Amino acid sequence: MCAAPGGKTTAIAILMKDKGEVVALDRSHNKVMDILKLAAEMDLNCIKAYKIDALKSVRKINEETNLGMEDNPNEAAETMAEDSDPCHAAHATIGATATDAGEDSSTTTIVQSDEQKPDSKRYVSKAELRKNLRRMKNGPGRNNYSGGRVEKSKGFLPNSFDRVLLDAPCSALGLRPRLFAGEETLESLKNHATYQRRMFDQAVKLVRPGGVILYSTCTINPGENEALHPKVGGPGIVGSWERSNKTYTEEWLTEQEAELVQRFDPSSSVDTIGFFIAKFEVGQKEG
């Protein structure tokens, strides 16, 4: 889950000696293409990559009559997203000039649309205009070459996988260039944790009883690590944290639980970036 750019995916495939099946999921078309490109460069054939939001990775049983692991082949090829189509970018900027796209402007402008009628017009925000101009400047991008399409998945049945690696999107506070960047707030850190917990719920549903979930982040924030209650590194952080106005509380780990996870922290004697790993063995599920 959240597999791009594919380093962990290909590492797993190599450890499996390119046998079995590794399913890599990401919600970005371009990132799925990156995974497939990396797998091809490394001559790995056991990797299948799909475009899907990790929050929607569990297929609802009543969605379709055909509940196989793979989607209908007729629906597998995805039409390129409009926001990644260089042709759309070119059409959207007809009649506009570069001077209209000031970085601080938030007004709208009227530009010629790509309709057949020459007098047809539509409103385009300055933000979209700036985005389109950047696309034109940077070239067509990787989606414009032959075969630049990815398979779009509608999700997988519960208990479909032996193991799941959730490499969760996070605040990245363990990466040295961002340690003191000041880009995160207490509220944004809390929002990361909420998002990660929802992904973890999907992972639990995907793994069969007796299977394994591996959860990892590249942040040192306990709210995104120990607070989810999920020996090379040190033990996890024990205790809890409460906001001064007592509107929010994070429960971290007990002394016993702290020994079950691995925390890699730049403040330790080991010269490393900050990241976190927790391994869960899935027991019998209710219902």
Question: 5 labelled as ligand-binding?
Answer: yes
Q: Is 218 a catalytic residue?
A: yes
140 assigned binding-site residue? no
Q: Is 2 annotated as a binding residue?
A: yes
193 is known to lie in a ligand binding site:
no
- How much of the chain is in helix, strand and coil states, percent to nearest 5? 30, 20, 45
Identify which of 85, 80, 84, 96 has the alpha carbon closest to the alpha carbon of residue 133: 96
Annotated active-site residue in 46, 87, 170, 218: 218
Q: Cα(90)–Cα(84) distance, rounded to whole angstroms?
A: 11
Q: How far apart are CA 269 and CA 266, in angstroms?
A: 8
Question: What's 231's DSSP letter?
Answer: -
Ligand-binding site membership of 3 (annotated): yes
182 vs 38, 124, 192, CA distance in Å?
33, 32, 16
Q: What is the DSSP string of 116-178?
A: SSTT-EEEEEHHHHHHHHHHHHH-S-GGGSTT---EE---B-TT-EEEEEEE-----TTSGGG
Q: Pick from 169, 204, 162: which is nearest to 57 by CA? A: 204
8 Å CB contact between 91 and 121: no
Task: Answer yes or no: is 95 a known binding residue.
Answer: no
In whole angstroms, give the CA distance from residue 278 to residue 227. Answer: 12
Q: 56 a known binding residue?
A: no
Say whether 26 counts as a known binding-site residue. yes
177 is in an annotated binding site: no
The response to whether 46 counts as a known ligand-binding position is: no
What amino acid positions are annotated as catalytic residues?
218
Q: Residue positions in the annotated binding site for S-adenosyl-L-methionine?
A: 2-8, 26, 53, 167
Q: Residue positions in the annotated binding site?
A: 2-8, 26, 53, 167
